[in-house]
Structure 1
Amino acid sequence: MQTDREKAEQLYKNYINASLALDNLGNIDKTVDAFQIKLNSEIKKPANEQRFPLYKALVDNTNYYIIPLRGSGLWDAIWGYIALKSDINTIQGAVFDHKAETAGLGAEITQQWFMNRFKDEKVFNSSGELVGINVSKTNNDPKDLDKSDHEVDAISGATITGDGVTEMIVERLTHYLPYFNKERNSIAALN
């Protein structure tokens, strides 16, 4: 879903049905407003002191989990969001930005063609282990049609930025595992 700054607040109100601040055990901390968490400061704390923002969205009767990301590129910070479908595995969408990556190289992470590569990739392997998505120079699927390989094609000349995206996704998602496991268990109990 594309938007501009002026419409973002209304879209947030229309689609976000829960904003949660999680502790490192996957518990909801009701004393913290998820929207006020500043990841650039939060990630400097020990993991047991961090709070992890999570947004739940409902779009066309489908639930999504939106996780803010923050990491390091070649020159400075990179960040973004990843939205997982209700299976808490399949990527619905990803968006990335950066502070100072090289134009035409690492800065290409902001391009729609790059972000589209992540759609329908899986972040867990068939054994249920978090593997994330590898931004790979050796991906033998340059059109990213194989959605079971946990890889997207890298940007030529942007290896370190691509590695940063790979690491950022796994590092951030790791902190959400306790909550996701609880969610999966409660969904399984309903079925």
Structure 2
Amino acid sequence: MEEKSVNKTNSNGYTFMFAIIMVVVVATVLAFTATSLQPTQRENVRQEKMQSILATIGIETDRAGAEELYDQYITEELSLREDGTEDEDIDAFQVDLAKELKKPAADQVFPLYIAEVDGEKFYIVPLRGNGLWNAIFGYIALRDDVNTIAGATFDHLGETPGLGAEITKEFFKERFTDEKIFDESGNLVGVSVVKGDIDPSDKDDNQVDAISGATITGDGVSDMISERLKRYLPYFKKEQEIKVAIQ
């Protein structure tokens, strides 16, 4: 009897059945864990988004304190259409730019966040574009003149460490502070990331110094800034009565 029991546990059928049971158990545990963590993960993403928006206007906070400061400094969340009008039926904070960019411009929603810090107004525009390997994204804040950059944040999904991934570093983001997005003729040109002898003190040249070895990522940053900001010109012209060319 003992020998038969040993043979039974060593049989292929027993091994196969044991493997199936273990797969089912592990899959069930993983599915339960993933499902139970979803609310926490969504909340973390929401708070990190608030952190990034606040960082463009110089408000630094940890994730836990993000919501309180966000409510304190962000005075409006607008969902804009291509003509600059507001769509009050859409929650700007919930707009997914990755999905919006797949639509024709006429069907897209353009989120805009308006902040006030020490009596000064800021317009914060979400950014999204293409880097070398995958999507790059971030936020850029404009001062009340709708021309001067107050701050910017950038992130990515798969740029090369030590090269394109450097767009997340402070030294790169700081290069955009006080840069202008309109040229001398009033055309919105954004800010170009270029190689060469760039004077960091010249804030009217619409240029910042590129990251060495990250040309394609830098071009992606340049393109997404100009492309996204141009979508907000109808709103800015209407709100600020600025005399600029839409090109």
Q: TM-score, normalised by structure 1?
A: 0.94
Residue 139 of structure 1 contacts residue 151 of structure 1 at CA under 8 Å; is this kept in 2? no
Q: 2:185 aligns with which of 127, 139, 152?
A: 127
State the SS of the aligned residue for 1:140: coil
Which residue does the alignment assign to 1:103? 161
Instruction: Determine which structure has the larger helix proportion and give its number.
Output: 2
Structure with higher Rg: it is 2
State the SS of the aligned residue for 2:176: coil
Q: Distance in 2 between matches of 1:183 and 1:86?
A: 11
2:151 corresponds to 1:93: yes
Percent of aligned pairs with the same amino acid? 59
Deviation at 1:6, TM superposition (A): 1.8
State the SS of the aligned residue for 1:132: coil
Which residue does the alignment assign to 2:123? 65
Deviation at 1:140, TM superposition (A): 2.9
State the SS of the aligned residue for 2:241: helix
Deviation at 1:139, TM superposition (A): 4.1
State the SS of the aligned residue for 1:44: coil
Deviation at 1:184, TM superposition (A): 1.4
Aligned length: 184
Q: Distance in 2 between matches of 1:104 and 1:3?
A: 26
Q: Which amino acid aligns with 1:179?
A: Y
2:209 corresponds to 1:153: yes
Runs of 4+ in 1 over 4 A off after TM superposition: none
Q: Which whole-Å deviations, capped at 9, do the CAs of 1:82-139 have from their partners, x for residues lacking one?
A: 0000000000000000010000000000000100000000001122110100000124
Residue 198 of structure 2 contacts residue 207 of structure 2 at CA under 8 Å; is this kept in 1? no
Q: Distance in 2 between matches of 1:76 and 1:8?
A: 28
Q: Distance in 1 between matches of 2:230 and 2:165?
A: 25
Q: 1:54 aligns with which of 92, 112, 115?
A: 112
2:96 corresponds to 1:38: yes
Query: For structure 1, which runs of at least 5 residues remain unmatched after alignment?
Result: 187-191
Residue 122 of structure 1 contacts residue 132 of structure 1 at CA under 8 Å; is this kept in 2? yes
Q: Which amino acid aligns with 2:241?
A: N
Q: Distance in 1 between matches of 2:216 and 2:74?
A: 33
Higher relative contact order (CA 8 A, sep 6+): 1
2:60 corresponds to 1:17: no
Q: Distance in 1 between matches of 2:136 and 2:64?
A: 23
The CA RMSD measured in Å over matched residues stands at 1.0
Larger CA deviation: 57-66 vs 8-17: 8-17
Which residue does the alignment assign to 1:189? none
Q: Distance in 2 between matches of 1:54 and 1:139?
A: 34
Q: Distance in 2 between matches of 1:105 and 1:69?
A: 20
Q: TM-score, normalised by structure 2?
A: 0.73
